[in-house]
Every structure is written in structure tokens, then in C-alpha cells.
Structure 1
């Protein structure tokens, strides 16, 4: 189990990776990536029960789906530093013919990537499908997903949230990056969503607030 000093050092290194990736091509989304660095490091280095190597079926291990795929720089960095692919490949971020595009995609077979995320708002639905499959297979492992607060303005999320509670999909943990911003401005300016905690609880979810 990594100690706290190792994790803190890794957080710093991942942030360096993020800035280098985005600066090299003058393209990308550094803000969301930097804000979620601790989450990714803790998830992949401390929380998830992962097998050696990578296969798409994800049987008998915890699995993760990224819904807000524009924060790919942090995802790529943590995957590389968790042994999924060589660190040198981070230098190819957003280049032509690279496996590391702006939004993660599956067609190039990059280890660690389970869904393409160019269209936001689908991660919770996909995660519910994976979690339900694990329950059918008597696989006791957990499915994790991360989504942005802005993409929760899409109705598909709330159908999924209602479905998960109604069908007792209790092997799923959804984390919302509640930063109050989306591509066009502040979430409360574009489409206010009120009290997200109260909304999730109204649909029958257990909610934990994590604040820095």
C-alpha cells in the first residue's frame, strides 16, 4: 500500500505531466485535469482492486469509466504511471495517429480505456450496465465512474440515476467533479441545477460530500 508521501509526490508529478501534454500541443483542458489529480491518483494507486495487465472484460477486478473525457491528460498520466502503457507515449498527446487523443477512444486499443467519451453524459449509463453485469456474474468488485457537473444537465443522466436506485445497483460509485464550470461559462449561468446532493438523495442514492 503506497504511503502518503509517495501519493503526494505522484500527484505533483502527474500535474507536471498534464501541463507538459497540454503545453506541447497548445490544446486541451488543463483545468479539470489539474482539479481531479488527487482523485485519479487515490483511485488507481490506493482504492481500486486491479489485476496485472488489462483486458476489456474487467472480470474479477474493480473497473473505472471516465465520462467527462475532456480531462484526458490526467487520465493518461495516471494510466501511464500505473503501468498501463509506457510513459514516453505521453509525448504523443493529441498528435496525428496517436493513441492519446483529446477524448479517450477504444479503437486504438489503449490499455485502461473502456469507453470512448467524445459525447458527454453517457458515463453513468455505461457504468450501470457494467455494474449490473458484475452482479449477474456474481463478481463482487466495484465499478467507479467520474463525471462533470455540467454534463449532469443532460437528461440521460437522471434516467440512469433513477434506474440505478430502482434496481439496487449498489456496486457502483459515481463521483461528480462539482467545480461549477463548463465550457460556456459557470454552470449556474448556463443552466442552474440547484442542490445536487438533494437531487441524488431524492432518487434514492447515498451521497458523501468531499471538500478540500
Structure 2
């Protein structure tokens, strides 16, 4: 009873801040800057006043408020980090897809160019064969056909290799993106656990507050 009487002037002086806290609680998120600042102010004030007045209830109330505020701030920070990592993973995955598509198109263009060159070489070889003497016509035409076939095969092999490299890079980018999304998910889980701790601490604080009031 004596402790309550000694602490009464402090509680009266604290009423304006408590009223502001009540209004902010109805209007702002508990992790907003004004709420966090007010929680720290009230928690520190209760803790100091409880120490000076030797009122353990005030000290505990202040300590609990400060701890709850710290946990909420940690939860908000972890949530922000998780969202940033998710966004980063999405951007990297999109960049990987764009790069793979560009590489596939470049490979296709290069293969088409090689086939066109092969066609030109074949036509030139045939023309040259016709202009040569009848004795050398068959041999030169065969040689031209062989060169054309060789270039066509080389172009096709190059296209296949380029497409395989592009696909491999795409899969690597997808694996990296998945790893980052998994990391972001882990961060989100940690944030949820921190928020749950804060809510449990809040419930405990309210229960203790009710108990002190009933005392």
C-alpha cells in the first residue's frame, strides 16, 4: 500500500504520456517510429522511476515495455530484410531469364548465318564446277558439296553447343534464385518467431499488469 502511495505522484505525472500512447496505439502500427520512440520513453521512465522509488512493479513494467519494443523492432527489421531478399531474388531470376533468352537468340542467329554461308559456298562450288572442264567437273562438284556439308555441320554443332550453354546458365541462375528465396523464407520465419515472442511478452506483461492492479 505504501509503495502505491509513493508511486502515485509519478503515475499522475505519467498520465499525459499514457494518453498519447493510447491514442497512437489506435492509429499507428506498433512498429512505427512514433510508437517505438514512445515505448522507449515510457519504458525508460518507468524503469528509472521504479528504481528511484524502489518500486519493483514499476521497474518490471518498464523493463517489459523496453524488451517488448526491442523485440518488435527486431521483428520489423527481419521482415524488411526478408522482403528485400525476396525482391532481389525475383530481380535476379528475371535477369537470368532475359540473359538466357538473349543467348538462345544469338545462337540461333549465328547458326542461321552459318547455314547461309554454307549455301553460298555450295552454289559457288557448283558454279565453279560447271565452268571447269568436263573432266574436272565431277571432282570439283564433289569437293564443293563436301565443304558445304562440313560448314553446315559445324554451324549446327555450334548452335547446339550455344543452346546447351545458355540452358546451363539459365538453370544455374534458377538455382541461385531459389537459394536466395529459401534464405528470404528463413529470414521471414525468424521475423515471425520474433514477432510471436513479442506478442507472448505483451500478453505476459498485460497479465502481470492485471495482477498488479488486482493487488
TM-score range, shorter chain: under 0.3
Q: Which has the higher contact order (CA 8 A, sep 6+)?
A: 2
| TM-score, structure 1 as length reference | 0.22
| TM-score, structure 2 as length reference | 0.22
| Between structures 1 and 2, the one with greater helix share | 2
